């Protein structure tokens, strides 16, 4: 839940999603529609029907879908996905909230104080929990939650498998203040991103043990370790279903809804479920899906800019991709413009080139690191690189070396026609240079396990960012053993350079500039590359307000809103 970026698979919008703690991963399908003679449709930075609580009715139910309910239910764990975080957000504490532009503020139900200061040259954050704040098992919510969250996320050397160590590893100490309700967090020196740590979550102190942290929540959400306005009512891993009802232990504003549920389903099932009034919202970020709902009555279409990057990566640990020249050839054979045309067909959308996984083109400090690395769509150069690496064309137009054909497996965790078209286009692009790319269609519910176990040679997915502090999460993207980027090109040498050349700089602006420069070098290892960002379009039943309060969903930009404020207009 702290993630800047989370992972995800290409699913409805062309990409499955992972979360960057700042970021996450998931699946989805997105695309640029051609000019149909009409004026381009406005894509807002956030579009989620924001409403004050007094405008909303008490009661009712909301039924959501998602691509999968992952096996790993601990949203802080490195094997978690954007879906993990989405599910967790409804029964775990939202200690900090964010405006759509990423401006953080404290949740008054949990915190009496959130103070930033510099003491003796060290950045210091003071958290003071409210007297009422407690976990579902009765444990008081106090400084031990901050301490446990720090210790579980500061390093991989102590047996924990965190989603990201950024921000936490710079902390020198967590101490109790005047009372147990106050935690004093002291960094080693001045920290450039003081808003970042603990931004959207904390863990129950029971998870401060490595084995418990890594294993206890596999297939088990442990509702007793949660806290908030809703509690888990039903959880069925086999049927991929979870529901929530108001939590009688909650001490804050009364939740507006009587019930909230999530059902995992593939792309075709989700659009059919929406049309059959079985769910209340569905992503329609492709022309084929948009066409199916455009004439429905009683719905609204919301259209926002995604804080996500659709990317493609290869597994350098696989023998086909051990040679950097083969990896470079693979990427230079990708026609990104064609991929965008397919993904955004009929959506009247365009954007600046997505040349970074650190920043979005609309953010200050952005530069096209991919272009600076030397990437261009160039099949002739790709073929020359493969020849140089010893891969010769056979009679079938596929390259061979030492009796092995250059065959790679590319899973699509979706039944979306747009994703199928994207896969076939990529297959044809690679065939042009002699690479045999085998498209393997799989259920979206297999994504997390397949991704973590690297049951793929090439994968396309989406990294979704939870906040605008891109360079703050640079290590999560590009350091070894982080679990998000699984291209296998990371190295101990680059880890050290990230520390020395980015993380050690004193200001956010300096770190951002250094990260953009170093990212261009990292791209030259040819392990992964951004394709596009894209819009997100949702079809929603009329009257549903304060959509997507969870991180990584996208309709409200970087926003994280109180889940108790989601409801139906009066």
Confidence of residue 12 (pLDDT cuts 50, 70, 90): very low
Average pLDDT, the chain: 92
Domain that holds residue 36: 25-94+218-307+535-568
Confidence of residue 6 (pLDDT cuts 50, 70, 90): low
**28 pLDDT more than 80:** no
Range with lowest mean pLDDT among 31-45, 229-243, 400-414, 556-570: 31-45
CB-CB contact of 6 with 205 (8 Å): no
Last residue of a domain, one of 145, 179, 213: 213
CB-CB contact of 228 with 563 (8 Å): yes
Nearest Cα neighbor of 6 from 86, 60, 67, 63 is 86
Last residue of a domain, one of 189, 213, 237: 213
Please check whether residue 436 lies inside any domain of the structure: no
Please check whether residue 376 lies inside any domain of the structure: no
Compute the distance between CA of residue 381 and CA of residue 433 in angstroms, rounded to an integer. Answer: 9
The CATH number for 113's domain is: 3.90.76.10
For residues 136-149, give the mean pLDDT.
98
> Strands across the sheet with 230-236, in order?
61-66, 259-264, 241-246, 230-236
Nearest Cα neighbor of 483 from 175, 34, 165, 254 is 165
Compute the distance between CA of residue 401 and CA of residue 394 in angstroms, rounded to an integer. Answer: 10
Q: How many CB atoms lie within 10 A of CB 245?
A: 17
> In this predicted structure, what is the pLDDT of residue 16?
53
Dihedral sign for Cα atoms in the order 202, 205, 210, 214: negative
* pLDDT digits 0-9 by tens, 479-512: 998 888 999 999 999 999 999 999 999 999 999 9
**459 pLDDT more than 70:** yes
> In this predicted structure, what is the pLDDT of residue 324?
98
CB-CB contact of 180 with 130 (8 Å): no
**34 pLDDT more than 50:** no
**254 pLDDT more than 80:** yes
For residues 143-153, give the mean pLDDT.
97
Judge if 208 and 226 occupy the same domain.
no
* pLDDT digits 0-9 by tens, 425-454: 999 999 999 999 999 999 988 998 999 899
- Phi-psi group of 95: left, alpha or beta (phi > 0 → left; psi -120 to 50 → alpha; rest → beta): alpha
Strand partners, 437: 408
Secondary structure of the chain: what % helix, strand, coil (to 5)? 25, 25, 45
Judge if 83 and 108 occupy the same domain.
no
Give one DSSP letter per residue of 427-441, joined into a string. Answer: HHHHHTTT-EEEEEE
Judge if 264 and 200 occupy the same domain.
no
Confidence of residue 65 (pLDDT cuts 50, 70, 90): very high
**383 pLDDT more than 70:** yes
CB-CB contact of 556 with 100 (8 Å): yes
Please check whether residue 68 lies inside any domain of the structure: yes
Q: Exposure string (b/e) for 361-374, b if CB count within 10 Å is 16 or more? A: eeeebbbbbbebbe
Please check whether residue 158 lies inside any domain of the structure: yes
> In this predicted structure, what is the pLDDT of residue 2?
39
Compute the distance between CA of residue 503 and CA of residue 77 in angstroms, rounded to an integer. Answer: 22
**14 pLDDT more than 60:** no
In this structure, are strands 241-246 and 230-236 parallel, antiparallel, or unpaired?
Answer: antiparallel
Judge if 135 and 271 occupy the same domain.
no
Judge if 106 and 130 occupy the same domain.
yes
Compute the distance between CA of residue 417 and CA of residue 234 in angstroms, rounded to an integer. Answer: 32
Judge if 63 and 117 occupy the same domain.
no
Cα-Cα-Cα-Cα dihedral of 345, 347, 353, 358, to 10°? -110
Confidence of residue 5 (pLDDT cuts 50, 70, 90): low
Confidence of residue 372 (pLDDT cuts 50, 70, 90): very high
* pLDDT digits 0-9 by tens, 43-53: 899 999 999 99
> In this predicted structure, what is the pLDDT of residue 32?
33
Report residue 476 as tokens.
């999560």
Please check whether residue 467 lies inside any domain of the structure: no
CB-CB contact of 485 with 528 (8 Å): yes
Please check whether residue 374 lies inside any domain of the structure: no
* pLDDT digits 0-9 by tens, 314-345: 999 999 999 999 999 999 999 999 999 999 99
> In this predicted structure, what is the pLDDT of residue 37?
38
For residues 148-165, give the mean pLDDT.
94
Please check whether residue 491 lies inside any domain of the structure: no
User: How many residues appear in the chain?
Assistant: 570
**54 pLDDT more than 50:** yes
**11 pLDDT more than 50:** no
Judge if 205 and 109 occupy the same domain.
yes
Last residue of a domain, one of 161, 181, 213: 213
> In this predicted structure, what is the pLDDT of residue 31?
33
Judge if 128 and 75 occupy the same domain.
no
Could you tell me what percent of the chain has a pLDDT over 90?
84
Judge if 134 and 183 occupy the same domain.
yes
Rg of the chain over Cα atoms, rounded to whole angstroms, equals: 23
For the chain, the domain total comes to 2
The CATH number for 229's domain is: 3.40.190.10
> In this predicted structure, what is the pLDDT of residue 531?
97
Please check whether residue 440 lies inside any domain of the structure: no
Judge if 204 and 115 occupy the same domain.
yes
Judge if 226 and 78 occupy the same domain.
yes
Cα-Cα-Cα-Cα dihedral of 275, 280, 285, 291, to 10°? 20
Confidence of residue 217 (pLDDT cuts 50, 70, 90): very high
Judge if 57 and 88 occupy the same domain.
yes
């Amino acid at each position: 839940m702290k993630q800047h970026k989370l992972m995800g698979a290409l699913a409805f919008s062309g990409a499955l999603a992972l979360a960057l703690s700042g970021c996450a991963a998931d699946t989805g399908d997105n695309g640029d529609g051609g000019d149909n003679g009409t004026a381009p449709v406005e894509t807002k930075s956030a579009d989620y029907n924001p409403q004050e609580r007094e405008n909303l009715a008490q009661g009712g139910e909301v039924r959501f879908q998602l691509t999968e309910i992952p096996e790993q239910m601990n949203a802080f764990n490195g094997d978690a996905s954007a879906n993990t975080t989405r599910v967790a957000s409804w029964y775990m504490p939202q200690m900090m909230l964010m405006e759509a532009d990423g401006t953080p503020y404290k949740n008054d139900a949990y915190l009496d104080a959130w103070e930033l200061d510099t003491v003796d040259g060290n950045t210091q954050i003071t958290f003071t929990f409210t007297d009422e704040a407690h976990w579902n098992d009765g444990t008081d919510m106090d400084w031990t939650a901050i301490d446990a969250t720090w210790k579980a996320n500061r390093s991989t050397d102590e047996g924990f498998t965190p989603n990201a160590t950024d921000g936490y590893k710079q902390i020198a100490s967590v101490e109790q203040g005047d009372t147990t309700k106050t935690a004093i967090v002291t960094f080693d020196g001045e920290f450039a991103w003081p808003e970042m740590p603990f931004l959207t979550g904390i863990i129950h102190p029971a998870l401060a043990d490595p084995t418990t942290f890594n294993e206890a929540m596999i297939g088990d959400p442990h509702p007793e370790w949660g806290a908030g306005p809703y509690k888990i009512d039903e959880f069925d891993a086999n049927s991929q279903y979870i529901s929530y009802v108001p939590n009688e232990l909650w001490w804050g504003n009364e939740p507006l809804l009587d019930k909230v549920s999530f059902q995992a389903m593939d792309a075709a099932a989700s659009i059919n479920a929406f049309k059959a009034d079985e769910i209340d919202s569905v992503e329609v970020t492709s022309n084929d899906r948009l066409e199916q709902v455009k004439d429905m009555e009683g719905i609204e279409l919301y259209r926002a800019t995604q804080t996500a990057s659709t990317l493609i990566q290869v597994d350098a640990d696989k023998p086909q991709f051990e040679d950097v020249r083969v990896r470079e050839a693979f990427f230079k054979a990708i026609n990104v413009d064609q991929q965008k045309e397919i993904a955004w067909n009929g959506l009247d959308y365009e954007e600046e080139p997505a040349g970074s996984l650190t920043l979005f083109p609309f953010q200050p400090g952005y530069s096209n690191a991919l272009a600076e690395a030397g990437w261009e769509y160039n099949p002739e150069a790709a073929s020359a690189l493969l020849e140089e690496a010893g891969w010769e064309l056979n009679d079938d137009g596929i390259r061979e070396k030492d009796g092995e054909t250059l065959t790679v497996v590319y899973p699509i965790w979706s039944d979306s026609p747009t994703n199928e078209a994207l896969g076939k286009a990529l297959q044809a692009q690679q065939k042009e240079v002699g690479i045999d790319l085998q498209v393997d269609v799989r259920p979206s519910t297999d994504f997390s396990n397949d991704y973590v176990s690297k049951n793929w040679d090439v994968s396309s997915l989406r990294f979704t960012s939870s906040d605008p502090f891109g360079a703050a999460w640079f290590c999560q993207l590009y350091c070894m053993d982080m679990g998000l980027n699984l291209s296998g090109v990371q190295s101990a040498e680059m880890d050290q350079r990230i520390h020395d050349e980015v993380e050690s700089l004193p200001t956010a602006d300096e770190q951002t500039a250094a990260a953009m420069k170093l990212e261009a070098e990292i791209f030259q290892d040819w392990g992964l590359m951004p394709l596009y960002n894209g819009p997100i379009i949702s079809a929603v039943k009329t009257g549903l307000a304060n959509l997507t309060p969870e991180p990584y969903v996208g309709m409200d930009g970087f926003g994280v809103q109180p889940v108790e404020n989601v409801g139906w207009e009066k």
